[in-house]
């Protein structure tokens, strides 16, 4: 656990005490190993609870929908900052109502990887801590770099592109040779093989909606999955219900998903949701030259039209 630097704590406390913000959303020490928990701070005296380290995996911008109309401070990683830009592009937030502490992120720890390396289940991992660049579990240790989430290993935007103050040093943006290599592997399969892969992934889904709840762009007041008039689907564990929900949610995020991986990390069943969403992220780049959350002035491709828009993909 790493407390925030004194100057960052003081800045947050000043924002709170002067009424510049109504609350600050950050992370604090959690009750499970290698998992920080979201913290909602309203009293300047409580800023000492806030931490930053590789256990801070939540994309906190998912909570902004609960505080619309208020002035909010928030800590963001590079991928979280892109989500904020997406929310502003869609009219969900205005910049003047946000105070942003940005932090450069080398990747967040995947507790499942640690448990797997120990030959135990995640539930059996009852104690672990990060010491410098090492994950320590009892008398065993692992290099932190070997335990970060898969999506963090292909991240090429580790620094926030929107912030008011920055915590720590800015990381070099190292290009990734093939950040969508996993998509290419899927595309190389035959149609039957791709469908079998999709069925295998979604067969683990039990419609708990953790993915939806963790996603900052799933901010609808009433989700299509919860509607009763009309009723889009029945929330059973039948394959057709699960597949319909995942297909609808994936296409709902076309041209909007920023690739933060919050949905995949939140899934208790280990469904690789990133595989489906990254396919559409790659399509948006290749067809429209658009990467979600990068340019605050840009319009998402499904909300705008250019005379030179390519049609060969669709016709």
pTM listed for this prediction: 0.91
CA dihedral 188, 192, 194, 199 (to 10 degrees): -170
Angle CA(110)–CA(1)–CA(270) in degrees, nearest 5?
15
**Is residue 57 situated within a structural domain?**
no
How far is 59 from 97, CA to CA, in rounded Å?
A: 19
**Is residue 274 situated within a structural domain?**
yes
**Is residue 39 situated within a structural domain?**
no
Judged by phi (left if over 0) then psi (alpha if -120 to 50, else beta), residue 91 lies in left
Model pLDDT, residue 177: 84
State how far the alpha carbon of 195 is from the alpha carbons of 180, 199, 201, 226, 248, in Å. Answer: 19, 6, 10, 26, 16
Q: How many structural domains comprise the chain? A: 1
**Is residue 64 situated within a structural domain?**
no
State how far the alpha carbon of 8 is from the alpha carbons of 14, 15, 171, 269, in Å. Answer: 10, 11, 18, 37
How far is 310 from 292, CA to CA, in rounded Å?
A: 19
Contact of 205 with 268, CB cutoff 8 Å = no
Model pLDDT, residue 314: 56
**Is residue 271 situated within a structural domain?**
yes
Mean pLDDT by 10 residues, the chain (315 residues): 91 98 96 94 97 96 95 97 95 95 96 94 91 92 94 91 95 87 94 96 94 94 83 82 93 94 94 94 91 88 76 60
**Is residue 281 situated within a structural domain?**
yes
Contact of 294 with 84, CB cutoff 8 Å = no
Model pLDDT, residue 184: 93
**Is residue 188 situated within a structural domain?**
yes
Q: Which domain holds residue 283?
A: 178-315
**Is residue 18 situated within a structural domain?**
no
């Amino acid at each position: 656990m790493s407390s925030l630097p004194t100057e960052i704590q003081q800045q947050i406390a000043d924002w709170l005490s002067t009424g510049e913000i109504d609350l600050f959303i950050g992370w604090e020490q959690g009750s499970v190993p290698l998992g920080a928990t979201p913290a909602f701070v309203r009293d300047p005296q409580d800023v000492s609870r806030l931490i930053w380290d590789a256990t801070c995996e939540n994309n906190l911008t998912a909570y902004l929908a609960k505080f619309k109309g208020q002035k909010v401070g928030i800590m963001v990683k590079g991928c979280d900052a892109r989500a904020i830009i997406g929310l502003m592009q869609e009219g969900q937030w205005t910049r003047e109502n946000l105070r942003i502490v940005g932090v450069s992120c080398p990747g967040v720890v995947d507790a499942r990887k640690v448990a797997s390396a120990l030959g135990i289940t995640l539930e059996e991992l009852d104690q672990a801590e990060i010491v410098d660049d090492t994950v320590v579990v009892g008398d065993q240790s692992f290099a932190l770099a070997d335990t970060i989430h898969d999506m963090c290993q292909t991240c090429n935007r580790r620094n926030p592109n929107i912030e008011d103050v920055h915590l720590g040093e800015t990381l070099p943006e190292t290009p990734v040779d093939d950040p969508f290599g996993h998509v290419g592997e899927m595309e190389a399969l035959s149609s039957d093989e791709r469908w079998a892969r999709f069925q295998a992934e979604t067969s683990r889904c039990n419609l708990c909606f953790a993915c939806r709840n963790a996603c900052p762009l799933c901010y609808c007041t009433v989700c299509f999955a919860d509607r009763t008039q009309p009723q889009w689907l029945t929330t059973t564990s039948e394959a057709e219900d699960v597949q319909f929900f995942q297909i609808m949610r994936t296409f709902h995020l076309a041209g909007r998903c920023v690739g933060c991986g919050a949905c995949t990390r939140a899934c208790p069943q280990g469904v690789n949701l990133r595989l489906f969403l990254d396919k559409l992220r790659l399509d948006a780049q290749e067809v429209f030259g658009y990467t979600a959350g990068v340019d605050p002035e840009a319009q998402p491709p499904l909300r705008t039209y250019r005379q030179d828009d390519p049609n060969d993909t669709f016709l």
